[in-house]
Structure 1
Amino acid sequence: MGLSGAVSASILAVSAVVAPFLGLGWNPLTVIIGTLIAVLLTVLVRFVLGRLGWPATDDAAAARHSAGVRSAGSSGSRRSIAVREATGLAAVALAAGFIGWRLIQVFQLPGLISQTADNIFHLNVVRYMQEIDSGSALTAGGVQGAGAGFYPGVWHSVVALVADTTGVGIPESANSVNIVIGAILWPLGAVFCARVLFGNRPLIMFGAAVASSAFSAYPYLLVDWGVIYPNFYAMSLVLPAAALGALILGQAKSRTAGVGLLLWLALLACPGLALTHPNSLLTLMVVLLPLALTAYTCWVGPGLRGAGASGRTRIGYALAGIAGLGVFSAAWVALRPLPVSDFANTWQPYETSAQAVGEVLLTTHGNLDAAYATAILVVAAAAALLREKTVRWYLASYLLAALLFVFAAGVENSPLRTFLTGGWYDDQNRLAAALAVLAVPLAAKGAAVVADFLARGLRRMRIPARAGTAVAAVVVLAALFLISQDATVRPAVQQAAKRYSLDPESDIMSTNELALFEEIDDIVPEGATVAGNPWDGSAWVYMVSGRTVLFPHVQTTMTPEREIIASSLNTAASNPEVCEAVEELDVEYAVTSGELIYLPGNPQNEMYPGLTGLDTAPGFEKVAEVGAASLFRITACD
């Protein structure tokens, strides 16, 4: 069940990509067909493994082959499977309640919209998928009006599917999907990963559940900053994928059907991670690199120490290692959104490297207050792992992710910085979220370490062992919840909630603008394009009405025709070049708003002087008005 999020993301992603080639639309039937194919392929894989003579094995037996990985069944052999799974589900349900409550506080009402620049694009992509009846990532970039283009669109395809199936609006669908991702998929994967790494103790599972709600950087930051919903979805899939990779590498020497199925599940999960957002694969690579190196060392060591090791054997081991590093490096470069030479065009550091290290130690980010509750648990887990000599590789993974965060947050721009962190656009927010995701299993381990320490103290006070263990666990989890929710999560939720609004003073689209946009599909004929300054909310004409807009985003790629309309549309009655551009792009209407401009003072706000003063410019007929928002028909070019 812990892998359900990653596998379902792949089924959604692949079904959406393949459907247009088969003449299928984007609807529940397409998803059902994709699911059935995945099930049939899984059955076929199991059959083939059986025919090849690969024996079946249970999790506990396979775990004995593990080098530093504990299977989900390894520590729970004395409990029934039903009790163990019920405990895990209870932990996930607890986390779902905590996180769902907080996300509802962020979104406030079903129809409120994050009034941020990236959300203009995301919600318009959802409408675009509805319009073209395709959820494919290969065509999602076509929303910009420059032809079909790739964009990791699994989040958008899910929202489009929900909106079409239920008949509710895009904002309501987006908020609902985000609650499911944050409150269900995320803790489900976190608890699963903690079980794989540290066993089936109830305290580990409940510790992971409570910790999954305790960090400000994930899940709350990614529904605030940006907003970057695809990253929000993708990060929820990293831990279960990491757990799957750990199981595979930990059991690599066992030639069993169980390992074969794990390999098949990994193959099944990878497309979902890549098409939800490629930097989830980069994060996964960071997590698994230390384990892969450990497994390689365990494989090479005995062979090289053997008396009969030949030169050819040594060369073979060396070539295998070089090939592995080559594949890793190639993937690292290929998954980057920008070349290293573009290092000056990405996000800048905001603090010194020493301050960034301090934020890592205090499990915080962005100059926010220290998160002492989670910091103590992560440090306790690190000390325990060093002492126990188990799962040290995961601690190394966490430190690698911390290093990337330090580079993004506190190191000056350079090709090296961007080579390391360019997969996340050198953005400390994305890496802060990744670091918080990886910290959750450590916090769960730390909760067990601290609780065990308290339980030993209670036993010395002659309190029965079972009672002392229970009291210690409750005290640690309650302290983690209460301290983190008050000092860490509550400020993050309050900050995120400021982004979500739909009122007369909203930053991008106000209630007046929404009311006008809702009339547009009754006024503007299909096929006609509407021009408008995207910074005043007009880019969302498309999301609300479905009518094509000339500038669907604040970062719309400019062409000569678009530039002349942006700069000179209000001179159409006297400037033939304007009418040529209008006719070329089928622009028949224009929308303006005298209300707020998003990010006042940004020079890009002033790139649309031709879309001002249309009420007094000749050649424009006002056909609708709500408050300060107006729709004009362009008559100058008739």
Structure 2
Amino acid sequence: MSWIDALPTATVLLALLYLPGWVGLRLLGVRGVLAVAGAPAAVVAVLALGAVVLDVVGVAWTPAPVVLLLAVVLGLCALLGRVLPPGTVSLPPLTPRSWALVGIGLAVGAGVQAGAYLNGMGRPDAVQQIYDPVFHLNAAETVLRTGNASSLGGLDPMYGSSTGVFYPAVWHSMVALGARLSSVVVASNMLMLLTALAVWLVGIVALARAVAPRDGAVAAVAPVVASSFLIFPANLLVLQGMFPYCLAIALAPGAVALVVGVVERARTDRSPGHALRGGLAAVVTCAGVVAAQPAGLAVLGLFVLPYLGQVGARRGLRQWRLGHRAAAVVAAGAAPAVALALVVAVYTVPALQAMAAFPAVEGSRRLALFRGLTFSTTIGWTSPWANVVVAALVLIGVVVAAMSVRTRWLAVSWLLTLGIYVVAAGPNNVLRDLAGFWYKSADRTFAMLPTVAAVLGALGVVALGRAAQRLLAESRAGARHGRTRDWLAPVVMVGVLALAFVTSGAFRYDERQNGWTAWGFQPDRILTTAHASTEELTMIRSLDDVLPDDAVVLGDPRNGAAFVQSVGGAVAFIPHVNPSSWDPDQSYLKAHFGQLRSDPKVCEIVAEDGIEYFYADDSGPQAWAQDSPGLYDVDTTTGFDLVAEGGPARVYRITACG
């Protein structure tokens, strides 16, 4: 399959992400880049809630009901737009030239990453063979097959006989819609690329505009700086495939930008229309971040609460001076109270306590601090100092942000995000439990840092350019060359970015392509042991024409059997490699299926669960056979009919059970 063949799927998903949300936010009065950047989060919020509603009323998750759902929501937005007091939320306008520069910055930032990802993947239907994507691909196929995209039980088939399982399914619901034009794998890959190259980068531009509303240079530089980082999106999204959480991270900057825009507009214009319309829009977009993955609440906490705390403190101080003591306490204490509530929740809410108890690799906080400051990688081959120029620019940006009352909150947000990463990467103790929202994962917490660092790095670049311009202006030579002086700032900015690009090896392009991307998609280069070889995947793709659509296939999910669902169009009896999702029948067959001729219970389970086919592949590591002895070295000489084979794998029809 060629990349051109995947364009229709990518186009539909791009339209789904942006068009309904942009129209809805416009109807509510949101304008400019805030409407564009906030659109995906608004769409995610609507799709997440709509999927639950459609499930309750018994309507399948197919394009027609989804289009109708979006139309109804847009109608509601139009109605609210007419009945609410007039008002708009926007940022100060930029000149056409500034917008052109922003477009160039976006193109550079997206282009640097896109080339590495596309070349590293090789083809649009390349299968991501890492732990999390195995689940997410089959979960999307489950939505496509069952027509249930609800986060409240829609993914129950992924958990054996369990029912009513909560799992954020909005990512999978969008993949299922796109898959109708191609396949689950292609739709997932296209949504992954759009999340990295469009949703996140456009959100970065909007956040930069909100931080420096009258300075287009910051917005133009920010996406370029963003493309220098590897932990996100290259590591967590493209390699590890933590799709729902990565979607929340990508949506966050657009939502934060809208919150900042709404609050700043309310501070300068007290008319109720601005606050009502903007507040509603901000709530919806923030809800979208949380709906993508509940940890989005903590992500927003780190990004938004410093801003709201700063605004509240200033307002509280004014109220105190006016003698309004109660109002002052409420204004100044609201954001800290929310932050305290989040901290208390980690230590008291059972679900968060369970997440905090999740086994996570311990490490060195000192090393984590070094990585957090230099944005170096854990297993890549480039020098840990490769991105040192960008690291320096970020630190300059932190100083610049801290010196201004308007942007000081961004420096605080960076410090808090860096701190939670260092805590998560360290040894287990009570303090590390603060990272419970992220399962105490160093990678999950580290992945938040590039969002803030991209804007801070842009502030650093612009500050250097303006400083050079001022120095020349104050010199005698500058007085004689006024026109040259005007061009010095942009020349210095471009020069600094070029220096960062060259000294980092094109922002670590080779490692991004042949490391982080290839490690997830190339069967002969998978970071962990590949689940399926190239020949095996070719055979699995052919199963769509060999097996019935509802055929249930038993096999070890680690040896390629899980892909019969997302790639082959059948149903994997054990759809994921996580033992916590296996029910008693699945566990029993993993241990005893090979004894089907002597153990009557095996055939009872096979009959009850409608299992008709067996996926055999004994070529994996010995540890796989030790963990699933019933699925290895099975005697298939009798009672099994061969229906397909490829590489070391074979698919049989089970006849031994009658």
Structure 1 residues 187 and 132: CA distance shift in structure 2, 3 A: same
Please, which of 628, 632, 648 is the counterpart of residue 608 of structure 1? 628
Match of 2:45 in 1: 10
Tell me, in whole angstroms, the C-alpha distance in 2 between the residues paired with 1:174 and 1:341. 29
Aligned to 1:134: 148
AA aligned to 2:585 is: E
Q: Which amino acid aligns with 1:27?
A: T
Q: Is the 8 A contact 1:524 1:589 kept in 2?
A: no
Moved more, 90-99 or 209-218: 90-99
1:562 Cα shift? Answer: 2.3
Partner of 2:370: 358
Match of 2:589 in 1: 565
1:145 aligns with 2:168: no
Alignment-derived partner of residue 630 in structure 1 = 650
Instruction: Tell me the CA shift for residue 489 of structure 1.
Output: 4.5
Q: Given the superposition, is the C-alpha separation of residues 28 and 524 from structure 1 closer, same or farther in structure 2, using an over 3 Å criterion?
A: closer
Q: Which residue of 2 aligns with 1:470?
A: 490
Amino acid at match of 1:197: V
User: Per-residue deviation at 1:338?
Assistant: 4.3
Within-5 A mapping of 1:27-42 = 27-42=62-77
**1:505 Cα deviation (Å)?**
8.2
Task: Report SS of the residue matched to 2:567.
Answer: helix
SS in 2 for 1:390: coil
Q: 1:536 aligns with which of 534, 547, 559?
A: 559
Going from structure 1 to structure 2, the CA distance change for 1:186 and 1:324 (only over 3 Å counts) comes to: closer
Question: Counterparts of 1:580 and 1:35 in 2: how far apart (Å)?
Answer: 46
In structure 2, the residue matched to 1:412 is: 427
- SS of 2:375's equivalent in the other structure is coil
Q: CA deviation at 1:269?
A: 1.1
Partner of 1:581: 605
| Contact 1:513-1:593 within 8 A present in 2 as well | no
Matched, 1:204 2:230: no
- Structure 2 letter corresponding to 1:630: R
Which of 339, 344, 353 matches 1:340?
Answer: 353
The number of residues matched between the two structures is: 603
The match for 1:64 is none
Superposed CA deviations along residues 584-614 of structure 1, whole A, max 9, x for unmatched, are 322222111133x3xx46x565221111222
In the alignment, is the contact (CA less than 8 A) between 2:219 and 2:458 conserved in 1? Answer: yes
Aligned to 1:443: 457
Q: After superposition, what is the alpha-carbon deviation per residue over 1:512-532, rounded to whole angstroms, capped at 9, x for unaligned? A: 323433444555445552211
Residue 173 of structure 1 aligns to which amino acid in structure 2?
A
State the distance in 2 between where 1:333 and 1:514 align: 47
Q: Deviations over 1:10-37 (max 9, x none)?
A: 2333333333334443333334333333
Q: For residues 128 and 523 of structure 2, what CA distance do their matches in structure 1 show? A: 12
Q: 1:522 to 1:93 in 2, by over 3 A?
A: closer
Which residue of the other structure, out of 175, 192, 215, is the alignment partner of 2:229?
Answer: 215
Do 1:191 and 1:208's aligned partners in 2 also have CA atoms closer than 8 Å? Answer: yes
1:397 alignment counterpart = 413
Percentage of pairs with the same residue: 27
Deviation per residue, 1:305-354 (Å, 9 max, x gap) = 33x55xxx44x65467667655545556769894325645332222x222
- What is the alpha-carbon distance in structure 2 between the residues aligned to residue 526 and residue 217 of structure 1? 38
User: Residues 89 and 519 of structure 1: is their aligned pair in 2 closer, same or farther, counting only changes over 3 Å?
Assistant: closer
2:286 to 261, 265, 270: 270
1:101 paired to 2:125: no
**1:46 paired to 2:81:** yes
Deviations 1:263-293 (A, max 9, x none): 1111221332122122222111111222222
Report the CA distance shift for 1:560/1:149 in structure 2 as closer, same or farther (over 3 A): closer
Counterparts in 2 of 1:521 and 1:386: CA distance versus 1, 3 Å: closer
Whole-angstrom distance in 1 between the partners of 2:201 and 2:406:
24
The Cα of 1:381 is off from its aligned counterpart by 1.1
Letter in 2 for 1:103: Y
Return the match for 1:545 from 568, 584, 597.
568
1:209 to 1:194, Cα distance in 2 relative to 1, 3 A:
same
Q: Once the 2 structures are TM-superposed, how far is the Cα of residue 152 of structure 1 from its aligned partner?
A: 1.6
* Paired residue type of 2:370: G
Distance 1:580 1:496, change over 3 A: same
Alignment of 1:241-252 (within 5 A): 241-252=255-266
Q: Offset of 1:502 from its aligned partner?
A: 5.5
- Residues 226, 332 of structure 1: alpha-carbon distance in 2 compared, 3 angstrom cutoff: farther
Cα gap change, 1:9/1:87 in structure 2, threshold over 3 Å: closer, same or farther? farther
Report the counterpart of residue 125 of structure 2 in structure 1: 111
Change (3 A) 1:94 1:36: farther
- Is the Cα contact below 8 Å between 2:48 and 2:170 reproduced in 1? yes
Aligned-partner Cα distance in 2 for 1:605–1:271: 44
- CA distance in structure 2 between the partners assigned to 1:376 and 1:243 by the alignment: 25
**1:401-427 superposed Cα distances (whole Å, 9 cap, x missing partner):** 010000011x21123312x11111111
- 2:88, 2:277 within 8 Å by CA — same for their partners in 1? no
Contact in 2 for aligned 1:108/1:497 (Cα 8 Å): no
SS in 2 for 1:589: strand
CA contact (8 A) 2:89 2:261 kept: no
Whether the aligned pair in 2 keeps the contact of 1:568 and 1:578 (CA below 8 Å) is: yes
Q: In structure 2, what is the Cα distance between the partners aligned to 1:618 and 1:367?
A: 47
- Cα 1:141/1:478, change in 2 over 3 Å: farther
Partner residue of 1:593 out of 613, 617, 626: 617
Partner of residue 400 from structure 2, selected from 375, 384, 390: 384
Question: In structure 2, how many angstroms separate the alpha carbons of the residues matched to 1:491 and 1:46?
Answer: 49
Going from structure 1 to structure 2, the CA distance change for 1:605 and 1:272 (only over 3 Å counts) comes to: farther
Output the amino acid matched with 2:567: V
Partner of 2:553, secondary structure, is: strand
- Show the counterpart of 2:20: none
User: SS of the counterpart of 1:3?
Assistant: helix
CA deviation after TM superposition for structure 1 residue 103, in Å: 2.1
Maintained 8 Å contact 1:614/1:620: no
| 1:427-506 equivalences in 2 (<5 Å) | 427-459=441-473, 460=475, 461-462=477-478, 463=481, 464-486=484-506, 488-501=508-521
CA distance in 2, matches of 1:152, 1:332: 23
Supply the distance in 1 between the matched residues of 2:366 and 2:354 (Cα, whole angstroms).
26
The normalised TM-score by structure 2 is 0.84
Whether contact under 8 Å (2:424, 2:435) holds in the other structure is: yes
**Alpha-carbon separation, structure 1, partners of 2:459 and 2:553:** 56
1: distance between equivalents of 2:129 and 2:336?
43
Secondary structure, in 3 states, of the residue corresponding to 1:538?
coil
Q: Alignment RMSD, CA only?
A: 2.8
Give structure 1 stretches of 5+ with no counterpart: 60-71
Q: Is the 8 A contact 2:45 2:288 kept in 1?
A: yes
Sort the Cα spacing of 1:485 and 1:454 in 2 relative to 1 into closer, same or farther, 3 A.
farther
Between the aligned partners of 1:470 and 1:525, the Cα distance in structure 2 is 62
Q: 1:401–1:434: 8 Å Cα contact kept in structure 2?
A: yes
Q: Distance in 1 between matches of 2:519 and 2:371?
A: 24
Kept in 2: contact 1:244–1:266 (CA 8 A)? yes
The match for 1:226 among 219, 240, 246 is: 240
How far, CA to CA, are the matches of 2:38 and 2:503 in structure 1? Answer: 30
Query: What amino acid is the match of 2:618?
Result: G
Helix, strand or coil for the counterpart of 2:447? helix
Aligned counterpart in structure 1 of residue 173 of structure 2, from 157, 168, 180: 157
Q: Are the equivalent residues in 1 in contact too, given 2:61–2:149 (CA < 8 A)?
A: yes
User: Is the alpha carbon distance of 1:605 and 1:458 closer, same or farther for their aligned partners in structure 2, counting shifts above 3 Å?
Assistant: farther
2:160 touches 2:586 (CA, 8 Å); kept in 1? no
**SS, match of residue 304 in structure 2:** helix
TM-score scaled by length of structure 1: 0.87
- In structure 2, runs of 5+ residues without a counterpart are 1-35
* SS of structure 2 residue aligned to 1:530: strand
The whole-number CA distance in structure 2 between the counterparts of 1:552 and 1:238 is 31
1:62 corresponding residue in structure 2? none
